[in-house]
Each structure stands twice: as structure tokens, then as C-alpha cells.
């Protein structure tokens, strides 16, 4: 969060100084972001569930799933979230909501029918951990921050080309400042996105560990992740909500295996992945047994 704030303040300061607009860019960005942030904060769960085509279930409608969620929620000392089912043969699940009192979890029909009881418990414990650890809120805030940085950078670059500013002074530093501004405008959204993805990957590791602690059986989740890594992609995928799922819904092979590592010791493309490699997650879980 500190890194996001630093990027926003740095961009706002540079472009306000360069474009000689005072704080108008910052004011416009803040006003717009406040409106979108409020909508995202209070309606993000409904949006995510709607995009996934999830349908709510009751205790009478699916007593098996409801009982699993209820028992684990009681064990975790948290309210029972609303439960949704996604009609898809792929193996996946996600949690959403701004806090434990306003949370929901969604499970695909495939993950319910193809996992053993202990494996499904591990998946549900993982998603409940996301809720209890406030990961669902954190990722909503992170996405909002990325949106603010992207919008601010786009506004500033457009104004640099069409609005003038210090480039009109005609001195030798004008060209250098334009190049610096363009570079900042292009790289800032990328850096912000990389920060969001890094946060998403680390919270997956935390939810794995918290879920294993909740069930006292790490092998259940480890075995579930093995099956998930070989399952088919989901039929309906929206990249805006891909980070919510327990595994990359498009079936990114980088999530299923370590992949070839570069000289920095990271799997190729790892920085741009919403999830850490499943092989690494399984390895960490099995060190807990």
C-alpha cells in the first residue's frame, strides 16, 4: 500500500509541476477514484459473482456443501458466508466480499463432484482463510490503486501532448522532461500492476498455510491442488476476476509447474502471474505434514 501511495504521489507531483496545472490533476483523479472506489468496495462481490455466473444455494438445496462450509466456518470462528455454485466442469473456487460479515464463496460443480471430502474441505478452508485474513478486501483495494495509477498516468501523458506545460519554454531540458514524463506514464501502470500481482501471489501462500492450519490436514489441500492443476480451464473467464480464484481459471501452465527459471531464480513469466506455481504451493504444504 505504501508503494502504491508513493507511485501516485510521485506521478501527481511530477506532472502537476511539469504541466503547470497546480493540483487540478490530483483533484480530478481523487474525486473520480473516490466514486469508483466506493462502488468497487461495496459492490465488488456482486460484480465478481455475476461475472462468474454463480448461483446461490441454500442448506436444503445442497446440504453436503453447506455442511462443509458451516463446520469449517464455525471452527474458524467466523460467520458462515453465502455459498454459490458455478455450473462448470473445471475445478476452481473463489472467495469475495469486503469483510467476514459480507462475504461469499463460490465453488464450481466440477470441484464439488471430483474432489474427495478431505480435498474439498482443504479448498473451502483456503477460501475461508482469504475471508478471515481480509485478503478479499486487500485485493479490492489493490485493484482500485492500480486503476488510480493508470488513470493518472493516462491523463498526464495526454496533457503532455495536448496541454503544453513547461515543454513550451523552448529550452534544452524540455525534450528530456517529455521523455521522462512518457517513460513515467508508461511504466507506472506496469509497475503498479506488478505490485498487485505480487500481493496476490503472496496472499495465496498465506491462505494455503491458514487453510492447512484450519483443517489440520495439509495433504487434503495439496492433493486438491494436484487435481486442480490438471483440470480443464473454466468456460467463462474474466481476467478482471482471475486473481480471486484458487488457481488461474484459464489453466495457465505457469500455475501448474515451476517452469524454466531465469538467472534471478524465478520462473519465466512469474512476475506477470496472478498465482504462484501450484508445484511450489504443494511443496510448501507438504513440508507442514
The per-residue pLDDT for range 265-278, each reduced to its tens digit, is: 444 456 667 788 89
Query: pLDDT band at 51, cuts 50/70/90?
Result: confident
CB 121 within 8 A of CB 220: yes
Marked catalytic residue, from 20, 119, 121, 127: 127
What is the rounded distance in angstroms from the CA atom of residue 53 to the CA atom of residue 55?
Answer: 7
Exposed/middle/buried for 38, CB within 10 Å: 0-12, 13-18, 19+? exposed
Of 47-51, 182-186, 198-202, 220-224, where does mean pLDDT reach its minimum? Answer: 182-186
Of 64-68, 105-109, 176-180, where does mean pLDDT reach its minimum? Answer: 176-180
SS3 12: helix
- Region 16-34: mean pLDDT is 67
Query: pLDDT band at 216, cuts 50/70/90?
Result: very high
Sheet strand arrangement including 55-56:
55-56, 82-86, 103-108, 93-97
Q: What percent of the chain has pLDDT over 70?
A: 68
pTM: 0.76
Instruction: Using alpha carbons, list the distances in angstroms from residue 16 to 25, 26, 164.
Output: 7, 8, 12
219 catalytically annotated: no
Question: Which residue's C-alpha cell is 503472496?
Answer: 202
Q: What tens digit of pLDDT does each residue of 133-145 get?
A: 998 888 777 777 7
Question: Which residue's C-alpha cell is 491442488?
Answer: 225
**Alpha-helical regions (H) of 133-265:** 135-162, 173-215, 218-229, 253-256
Amino acid at each position: 500500500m505504501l508503494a502504491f501511495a508513493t507511485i501516485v504521489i510521485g506521478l501527481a507531483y511530477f506532472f502537476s509541476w511539469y504541466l503547470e496545472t497546480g493540483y487540478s490533476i490530483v483533484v480530478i483523479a481523487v474525486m473520480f477514484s473516490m466514486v469508483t472506489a466506493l462502488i468497487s468496495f461495496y459492490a465488488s462481490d456482486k460484480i465478481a459473482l455475476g461475472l462468474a455466473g454463480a448461483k446461490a444455494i441454500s442448506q436444503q438445496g445442497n446440504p453436503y456443501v453447506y455442511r462443509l462450509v458451516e463446520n469449517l466456518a464455525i471452527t474458524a470462528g467466523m460467520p458462515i458466508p453465502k455459498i454459490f455454485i458455478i455450473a462448470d466442469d473445471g475445478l476452481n473456487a473463489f472467495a469475495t466480499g469486503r469483510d467476514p460479515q459480507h462475504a461469499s464463496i463460490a465453488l464450481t460443480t466440477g470441484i464439488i463432484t471430483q474432489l474427495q471430502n478431505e480435498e474439498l474441505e482443504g479448498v473451502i478452508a483456503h477460501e475461508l482463510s482469504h475471508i478471515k485474513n481480509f485478503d478479499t478486501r486487500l485485493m479490492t483495494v489493490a485493484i482500485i490503486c492500480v486503476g488510480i495509477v493508470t488513470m493518472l498516468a493516462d491523463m498526464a501523458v495526454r496533457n503532455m501532448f495536448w496541454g503544453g506545460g513547461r515543454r513550451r519554454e523552448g529550452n534544452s531540458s524540455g525534450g528530456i522532461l517529455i521523455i521522462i514524463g512518457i517513460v513515467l506514464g508508461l511504466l507506472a501502470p506496469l509497475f503498479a500492476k506488478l505490485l498487485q500481482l505480487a500481493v496476490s501471489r503472496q496472499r495465496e501462500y498465506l491462505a494455503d498455510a491458514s487453510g492447512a492450519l484450519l483443517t489440520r490436514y495439509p495433504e487434503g489441500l495439496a492433493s486438491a491442488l494436484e487435481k486442480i492443476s490438471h483440470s480443464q480451464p473454466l468456460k467463462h473467464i474474466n481476467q478482471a476476476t482471475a486473481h480471486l480464484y484458487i488457481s488461474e481459471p484459464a489453466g495457465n501452465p505457469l500455475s501448474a509447474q515451476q517452469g524454466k527459471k531465469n538467472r534471478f531464480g524465478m520462473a519465466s513469466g512469474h512476475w506477470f502471474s496472478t498465482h504462484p506455481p501450484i508445484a511450489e504451493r504443494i511443496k510448501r504444504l507438504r513440508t507442514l505434514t
